[in-house]
Amino acid sequence: MDLTNERIDDLKNQFKIDEILQSIGYCFIKILGQGGQGVVVLTNDSTGIEKAVKIMKLPTSGRRANRAKIERLKNDIEFCSQYNHENIIKYQLYGEYPNDGQRAQFLYAVMDYFPKNLRDVIDESESYSPEQRLNYLIQLSKAIKDAHDKGIIHRDIKPHNIIITEEGVAKVTDFGIAKAVSNSTITAFGTTIG
């Protein structure tokens, strides 16, 4: 992601990136991506290992739609931190910021960093055989089926939300607008989510 220094500084201020990373002992390298609710940042942990940190800004008003958004973001973190599946990203560390008794303004989640997503694979499609493409489809089907078996409907499957490891394993990410089937209050009627 090519950003100007001014835009990087703006995002760092908007999402309190340096403060959050410092609070958990990570060092900023660069911004990997941004969406409507947050950013994903490439970092180094205290041992120098690269990790991706997802930082999500919480809506501040108490309206019902905002409470539903907060609930969906927390569900993303809960699901991806507690559920183990080879084809679903695993959050290794997560929390709220600030976490000093004040009302949290951000959620963050730390995960392994993989430099390639399915969009990159599609863009390089000439180098991937039909067998490799079918393999990705099978992996994604397993992840989606397992999430559905747990009562989670992703609702935002797209190439940018599928990470590809160096070993060729596809991992579904970003359950931020997922719906828990057993909890119909997560998405209020008439709410635009994606």
Catalytic residue among 10, 18, 156, 174: 156
Widest distance between CA atoms in the chain: 53
For the question of residue 149 being annotated catalytic, the response is no
State how far the Cα of 65 lies from the Cα of 96, in Å rounded to an integer: 20
Task: Please state whether 45 falls in left (phi above 0), alpha (psi between -120 and 50) or beta.
Answer: beta
How does DSSP classify residue 132? H
Cβ burial 103-137 (10 Å sphere, 16+ → b, else e): eeebbbbbbebbeebbeebeeeeeeeeeeeeeebe
Cβ burial 149-185 (10 Å sphere, 16+ → b, else e): eeebebebeeeebbbbeeeeebbbbbbbbbbbeeeee
- Known catalytic residues? 156
